[in-house]
Structure 1
Amino acid sequence: MRIARLLACPAGVSLTYFALAAGSIAFGRFTGGVAMAWIASAVLAGRLLHLPEHRWMPWLVGSGIASFIATGLWGFGWLAAFPFAIINILEAIGAAIIWRRITKAFWPYETLEWIASFYVGIGLTIPLLSGGAAASTAWVVHGQPVIDNFTRWIIGHSLGLLACLPVFHFIYGRLGRGRSFLPPRDMLPLTALVVGTFVLLTVTVFSLDMRALLVFPLVYLVVCSATVPSAILTQLPLLLIMIGGGMTVAGMGPIAGMDWPMGDRVQFFQLYIGVTVLTSLPLQCERAKRVLEMRKMRARIVELENQSQAVF
């Protein structure tokens, strides 16, 4: 599909990166410091995962320019735009490299080790390094408090990578091959049932000021992780972010009713998304492992049958 390849090309990824980075910087700097929610690095890293490293440069340059413009227009200004662009791009590169290394070492037979490495390497180490560099840059350029920016950066970038990198890995895996990441036509009835139920559940939960109800989208996503195909499952975290995040920012739902500043409420919502995705991730990995094993088993059976026919 031509549209799929356009979305996965350097211009398509850079425009997506710019839209997410600009939105985070323009609307997510509730305290005047760094953005308190960040998904853009997951987009770039998700695309890099499906490219050989010697071909990364066009995507890195395009996303770096996007980060530079977004920071210059809506963030800390043009003086800080270049170092922040370097930090953001290095963060995405680091996440992509670690994902590749742990996948080569552990996937698909040691999924628990892969998940632990994903949490520690991508969810903790990368944001710690980029957060230290970003907080120091903000302090040098604008005298911003180091600890506050460091803490907000870690929360926003860590949860953004943990929650969204698996999603964009799947999306760009399909788009890079010229295929749609949406479910095929033969899955439309199941997709309508699963997605429609999830949308109704999420809207209901975020329409009521009852925090205990937040567990239901989480449980639903966990159950779907063990039962529905990835093409359907990938849509659920994105829907939860769009519906739940939009309603929270609009002042609706259990998180919006908390007696906290808006920035803290947004980061709590991001924490909720992160916990939801991380809870379902082990089941997704185990299911993917079983699918691969079944494919290998079927291929082996076909090979043995062909050998038997050749003998007789």
Structure 2
Amino acid sequence: METTARAGLARSTFDGETTWVLTHPDGARLVVAETGATVLSWQAPGADGRLVELLDGYVSAAELAEEDGYRNAVLVPWSNRIRDARYRFAGAAHDLGPAADGSREALHGLLTNGRFARAQMNVRDSDLAVRLVASVAADEHAGYPYSIDVAVSYALGVGSEGESRLGLELTVTNTGDRSAPVALGWHPYLRLPGHDTVDDLELTVPARSRVVTDEAKIPLAGEAAFAGETAPVRYAPLAGSILDQAFTDLVPDDDGVVATVLRSPRTGESLTVEQEPFQARVVHVFTGDTLRRAPRASVAVEPCGFLADAFNRADSAEALALAPGEQRQLVSDIVYRHG
């Protein structure tokens, strides 16, 4: 991979793929592919000052194309899956069609392998950000006859106590002449230095409800989809827990954000995924047990605006609708603290 060590933004290549490399003055470094606006790498200074890798990204262009695990993907205009790749919206039936392998899960939206263009680099106080843009045309994808513009901004920053931050701001604008169903999500895979697997790590999810699904991983209808939990939900350690589980009824902290924490009790290092409770009502956790490469080497902690199969849920229909000219956002930060 060709890179630059200077602070700022540089165009680069990754196994033939066009990427953008954002470098912060403190040395933190982000690599984003134009394909899917997918983060390939986020490195930040560790306890000893040397850079450590904090996300489990794709290691080749072939992996990026295969989308195994949807590593660090941006999920637009829906997250997770839609039952049988079919849904109804505003009285009309829509069929998204089968995937290349013939399955009808309709996983993670329409842009995970779409091409994004770099729009600009922004400087906000001590943060550096790169913005990438794409669009979906009404006649471009079977089963989604709506027009939207998509902007993805990633920011590198340092907090008041020296913590490193990676911020996501995902914005969708309805550019069509009718309401469109839009549900947003992000799929980052977290890894902590010095841990080959997640087994010794602790996970804390500030949620009062667990989402109950059927064998196809579709949430049950109505209130049957929600099982009460005692907040926060903790796995300490993660050894023995195989998770592909969504949580909701999220509990904000004193700063008003929902903070899901992955922590190493051995080193004291932690990664915290923060999300706005009214933009992202769900957090999905996946321990990566079915990944083809490096299973259980990282944990996906996914902020999502809605439940899986929200396009088919009566309790989501009104909130899903994005009127012409309106915008919807998902804002999330990952915070790295090294003890």
TM score, norm. by length of structure 2: 0.33
TM score, norm. by length of structure 1: 0.34
- The answer to which structure has the higher strand fraction is 2
The answer to which structure, 1 or 2, has the higher relative contact order (CA under 8 A, 6+ apart) is 1
